[in-house]
Amino acid sequence: MSDIRKLLMLLSDGEFHSGEALGAALGISRAGAWKRLQGLEALDIPVESVKGLGYRLPGGLSLLREDAISAAMSSDARQKLHAVYVVDEIDSTNRFLLDRPVGRREACLAERQTAGRGRRGRVWFSPYGRNLYLSLSWTFHQGVAAVQGLSLAVGVAVAQGLHSLGLSNLSLKWPNDLLWQDRKLGGVLIELSGDAAGECKVVVGIGLNVSMSELPAEQLRTQIGQPWADLKTAGLVCDRNILSAEILNRLVGLLDGYHERGFDHYRTSWQELNAHSGRTVELLTPATSVSGVMLGVTSEGALLLGTELGVREFTGGEISVRGGNDR
């Protein structure tokens, strides 16, 4: 366990701890403890220091814990997963699982990602301990055709999980952004490796904003660059371990039956959550842009747009709405 994590575990109760006590618990000097406390500030974790009392994290901090996640998971999901890895820091939880052997069903969660991957080669902002960075790997034996529309179905599964925990007014932006009041709350990145026609590994990566409002506004503006929301703003306060377990339960159920059910099974639910149903949108592709009315999705998850040339289907591109969420 890293020194930073040990320190955070000591401070997670939100109570004051003297530099001396922290040093003793870590097996280092008081000056060493002070240095590590400074390290927390560099991770944008606010430490309060009061003379005579010591140091504390206002409000405490709930860290991700493998045992807490496993305990909150359904026995079915637990049995179907070979492992759940909880790490303090990693480049990308998706990258980690992509590099693991094929055939294993594993989850990886991190407190922080140093090179979090977003769609279209973007960087996913991944500050320490504030959000959820969760990946799940699964093996399909029927080739990539079996996972058509999966990213949209993942959006439905996560939205339903959040709804069951008490979140309302959630919607989905094609293909799979999670929105709250037209602001981005989370995203899904699916990456594949293996044989396109046979055994292939699918890594489902989910980034979900949980509580970021305490970070400096300028940092959020430059790092995110679009209207965003987090669960806290949306009124859902939930321990991240419980949240992780809920999402893993839903994803395991989804992935386990997906080769038989396909996206068609989730299509109606997706359309009920469609943020732009009946609205005029612009579909941006690297080559062109097409304007039309968002009509819904096909049974494979393709976008249906009512354009001047009639109803057209699209499998790639990004939706943009004037005056709305723009990425």
First to last CA, the chain: 37
Within residues 267-286, the interface with ligand BTN by CB under 6 A covers: none
Phi and psi at 309, nearest 5°, equal: -95, 15
Assign 210 to helix, strand or coil.
Answer: coil
């403890």: which residue's tokens? 33
Query: Could you say whether residue 205 binds ligand BTN (CB under 6 A)?
Result: yes
The count of chain residues that interact with ligand BTN, using the rule CB under 6 A, is 20
Out of 155, 187, 262, 301, point to the residue binding ligand BTN (CB under 6 A): 187
**Cα of 311 vs its chain's centroid, Å:** 33
Out of 22, 93, 106, 241, point to the residue binding ligand BTN (CB under 6 A): 93
Query: What is the token pair recorded at 216?
Result: 């400096």
Residue 91 CB, nearest distance to ligand BTN (Å)?
8
Residue 322 CB, nearest distance to ligand BTN (Å)?
21
Comparison of 23 and 205: residue with beta carbon closer to ligand BTN: 205
Which residues participate in catalysis according to the annotation? 119, 184, 322
Q: CB atoms < 10 A from the CB of 316, how many?
A: 10
Comparison of 37 and 156: residue with beta carbon closer to ligand BTN: 156
Assign 302 to helix, strand or coil.
Answer: coil
Out of 32, 118, 227, 324, point to the residue binding ligand BTN (CB under 6 A): 118
Query: Could you say whether residue 207 binds ligand BTN (CB under 6 A)?
Result: yes
Cα 31 to Cα 8, 18, 37, distances in angstroms: 17, 12, 10
Phi and psi at 217, nearest 5°, equal: -55, -40
Query: Could you say whether residue 65 binds ligand BTN (CB under 6 A)?
Result: no
Assign 5 to helix, strand or coil.
Answer: helix
Contacting residues toward ligand BTN, per CB under 6 A:
92-94, 113, 116-119, 122, 124, 133-135, 177, 187-189, 205-207
